A = this chain, B = another copy of it.
Amino acid sequence: MRDQGVTVWLTGLSGAGKSTIATALTGELRRRGRAVEVLDGDVIRENLSKGLGFSKEDRDTNIRRIGFVAELLARHGVIVIVAAISPYREVRDEVRARVGDFVEVHVRCVLEELVRRDVKGLYHKALAGEITNFTGISDPYEEPLSPEVVIDTTDETLADSVARVIGALQRAGYLEEDLAA
Protein backbone atom coordinates (compact mmCIF):
# COMPACT_ATOMS: atom_id res chain seq x y z
CA MET A 1 0.00 0.00 0.00
CA ARG A 2 1.23 3.50 -0.78
CA ASP A 3 2.05 5.66 2.20
CA GLN A 4 -0.40 8.45 2.90
CA GLY A 5 1.16 11.87 2.52
CA VAL A 6 0.42 14.77 4.80
CA THR A 7 1.55 18.33 5.38
CA VAL A 8 2.85 19.10 8.87
CA TRP A 9 2.74 22.86 9.12
CA LEU A 10 4.96 24.42 11.79
CA THR A 11 3.92 28.02 12.45
CA GLY A 12 5.39 30.38 15.01
CA LEU A 13 7.68 33.31 15.65
CA SER A 14 11.24 33.56 14.36
CA GLY A 15 13.60 31.66 16.65
CA ALA A 16 10.83 29.68 18.36
CA GLY A 17 12.37 26.40 17.15
CA LYS A 18 10.51 25.51 13.94
CA SER A 19 13.62 24.52 11.96
CA THR A 20 15.11 22.58 14.87
CA ILE A 21 11.89 20.62 15.31
CA ALA A 22 11.65 20.09 11.53
CA THR A 23 15.13 18.58 11.43
CA ALA A 24 14.57 16.29 14.43
CA LEU A 25 11.15 15.24 13.13
CA THR A 26 12.64 14.46 9.71
CA GLY A 27 15.16 12.10 11.32
CA GLU A 28 12.49 10.34 13.35
CA LEU A 29 10.14 9.92 10.37
CA ARG A 30 12.91 8.62 8.08
CA ARG A 31 13.89 6.15 10.81
CA ARG A 32 10.30 4.92 10.49
CA GLY A 33 10.80 4.45 6.76
CA ARG A 34 8.84 7.45 5.55
CA ALA A 35 9.68 9.82 2.71
CA VAL A 36 10.05 13.33 4.12
CA GLU A 37 10.67 16.75 2.63
CA VAL A 38 11.19 19.96 4.57
CA LEU A 39 9.96 23.20 3.04
CA ASP A 40 11.74 25.91 4.95
CA GLY A 41 10.34 29.42 4.70
CA ASP A 42 13.72 31.01 3.96
CA VAL A 43 14.65 28.41 1.33
CA ILE A 44 11.30 28.81 -0.40
CA ARG A 45 11.67 32.58 -0.41
CA GLU A 46 15.04 32.19 -2.11
CA ASN A 47 13.83 29.70 -4.70
CA LEU A 48 10.18 30.55 -5.36
CA SER A 49 9.52 34.02 -4.01
CA LYS A 50 12.49 36.24 -4.72
CA GLY A 51 11.15 39.74 -5.14
CA LEU A 52 8.40 39.32 -2.58
CA GLY A 53 8.64 41.41 0.57
CA PHE A 54 7.04 41.21 3.99
CA SER A 55 3.74 43.02 3.50
CA LYS A 56 0.67 40.97 4.38
CA GLU A 57 -0.05 40.47 0.69
CA ASP A 58 3.46 39.26 -0.12
CA ARG A 59 3.62 37.01 2.93
CA ASP A 60 0.27 35.48 1.95
CA THR A 61 1.51 34.88 -1.60
CA ASN A 62 4.60 33.16 -0.24
CA ILE A 63 2.47 30.93 2.00
CA ARG A 64 0.19 29.99 -0.91
CA ARG A 65 3.25 28.96 -2.93
CA ILE A 66 4.51 26.77 -0.09
CA GLY A 67 1.05 25.23 0.12
CA PHE A 68 1.01 24.54 -3.62
CA VAL A 69 4.34 22.69 -3.47
CA ALA A 70 3.39 20.85 -0.27
CA GLU A 71 0.24 19.54 -1.92
CA LEU A 72 2.18 18.28 -4.95
CA LEU A 73 4.59 16.36 -2.73
CA ALA A 74 2.05 15.06 -0.22
CA ARG A 75 -0.08 13.51 -2.92
CA HIS A 76 2.86 11.29 -3.79
CA GLY A 77 3.04 9.93 -0.25
CA VAL A 78 5.60 12.37 1.13
CA ILE A 79 5.33 13.77 4.65
CA VAL A 80 5.97 17.45 4.01
CA ILE A 81 7.20 19.47 6.97
CA VAL A 82 6.72 23.19 6.47
CA ALA A 83 8.70 25.49 8.75
CA ALA A 84 7.49 29.02 8.10
CA ILE A 85 6.44 31.86 10.40
CA SER A 86 3.14 32.11 8.47
CA PRO A 87 1.71 34.78 10.75
CA TYR A 88 -1.75 35.14 9.20
CA ARG A 89 -4.55 32.80 10.21
CA GLU A 90 -6.72 33.23 7.15
CA VAL A 91 -4.14 32.12 4.61
CA ARG A 92 -3.06 29.19 6.81
CA ASP A 93 -6.68 28.07 6.91
CA GLU A 94 -6.98 28.60 3.15
CA VAL A 95 -3.98 26.34 2.58
CA ARG A 96 -5.36 23.77 5.01
CA ALA A 97 -8.64 23.66 3.09
CA ARG A 98 -6.84 23.32 -0.21
CA VAL A 99 -4.28 20.73 0.85
CA GLY A 100 -6.69 18.56 2.83
CA ASP A 101 -4.23 16.36 4.69
CA PHE A 102 -2.88 18.95 7.10
CA VAL A 103 -1.60 18.90 10.66
CA GLU A 104 -1.02 22.33 12.14
CA VAL A 105 1.63 22.65 14.82
CA HIS A 106 1.90 25.90 16.71
CA VAL A 107 5.51 26.31 17.86
CA ARG A 108 5.29 28.76 20.73
CA CYS A 109 7.89 30.46 22.86
CA VAL A 110 7.43 33.48 25.09
CA LEU A 111 8.73 36.65 23.48
CA GLU A 112 10.96 37.44 26.47
CA GLU A 113 12.80 34.14 25.90
CA LEU A 114 13.07 34.74 22.13
CA VAL A 115 14.63 38.14 22.77
CA ARG A 116 16.98 36.56 25.31
CA ARG A 117 18.08 33.79 22.86
CA ASP A 118 18.09 36.00 19.74
CA VAL A 119 20.23 33.49 17.83
CA LYS A 120 20.25 35.55 14.62
CA GLY A 121 20.39 38.93 16.37
CA LEU A 122 17.13 39.88 14.67
CA TYR A 123 15.04 40.72 17.73
CA HIS A 124 17.43 43.36 18.98
CA LYS A 125 17.53 44.91 15.52
CA ALA A 126 13.75 44.81 15.32
CA LEU A 127 13.38 46.33 18.80
CA ALA A 128 15.82 49.06 17.76
CA GLY A 129 13.65 49.75 14.72
CA GLU A 130 16.37 48.60 12.29
CA ILE A 131 14.09 45.92 10.81
CA THR A 132 10.53 46.76 9.90
CA ASN A 133 7.65 44.29 9.48
CA PHE A 134 9.20 41.96 12.03
CA THR A 135 6.65 39.42 13.23
CA GLY A 136 5.99 39.66 16.95
CA ILE A 137 7.59 43.09 17.29
CA SER A 138 6.35 45.37 14.55
CA ASP A 139 4.10 42.97 12.63
CA PRO A 140 1.24 40.82 13.93
CA TYR A 141 1.28 37.10 14.65
CA GLU A 142 -2.15 35.50 14.67
CA GLU A 143 -2.07 32.35 16.79
CA PRO A 144 -3.87 29.28 15.42
CA LEU A 145 -7.24 28.81 17.08
CA SER A 146 -7.32 25.02 17.03
CA PRO A 147 -3.99 23.57 15.95
CA GLU A 148 -3.54 19.81 16.17
CA VAL A 149 -0.44 20.31 18.33
CA VAL A 150 0.84 23.17 20.48
CA ILE A 151 4.51 23.03 21.38
CA ASP A 152 6.02 25.47 23.83
CA THR A 153 9.76 25.46 23.43
CA THR A 154 10.22 27.81 26.39
CA ASP A 155 10.65 24.80 28.64
CA GLU A 156 9.77 21.68 26.61
CA THR A 157 12.56 19.35 25.43
CA LEU A 158 13.06 18.71 21.73
CA ALA A 159 12.47 14.98 22.23
CA ASP A 160 9.11 15.70 23.88
CA SER A 161 8.10 18.08 21.10
CA VAL A 162 8.94 15.53 18.41
CA ALA A 163 7.12 12.77 20.31
CA ARG A 164 3.98 14.87 20.48
CA VAL A 165 3.94 15.52 16.74
CA ILE A 166 4.56 11.82 16.08
CA GLY A 167 1.62 11.02 18.38
CA ALA A 168 -0.64 13.43 16.53
CA LEU A 169 0.33 11.88 13.17
CA GLN A 170 -0.46 8.44 14.54
CA ARG A 171 -3.81 9.46 15.99
CA ALA A 172 -4.76 11.04 12.65
CA GLY A 173 -3.80 7.83 10.84
CA TYR A 174 -0.87 9.25 8.85
CA LEU A 175 1.70 7.12 10.64
CA GLU A 176 1.68 3.59 11.98
CA GLU A 177 1.32 3.14 15.71
CA ASP A 178 4.37 2.02 17.67
CA LEU A 179 4.40 -1.67 18.43
CA ALA A 180 3.55 -2.45 22.03
CA ALA A 181 6.69 -3.20 24.04
Contacts and interface: CB of A to CB of B under 8 A. Distances in A.
Contacts of A115: none
Contacts of A96: none
Given A48-B48, A50-B61, A37 B72 contact: yes
Interface residues of A, number: 16
Nearest to A52: B51
Interface string A61-97: 1001100110011001110000000000000000000
Given A35-B76, A69-B69, A76-B73, A51 B48 contact: no
Contact of A48 (B65, B73, B76, B77): B65
Interface of A: 35, 37, 47-48, 50-51, 61, 64-65, 68-69, 72-73, 76-78
- Which 4 A-B residue pairings sit nearest by Cβ, starting from the closest? A47-B68, A35-B76, A76-B78, A48-B65
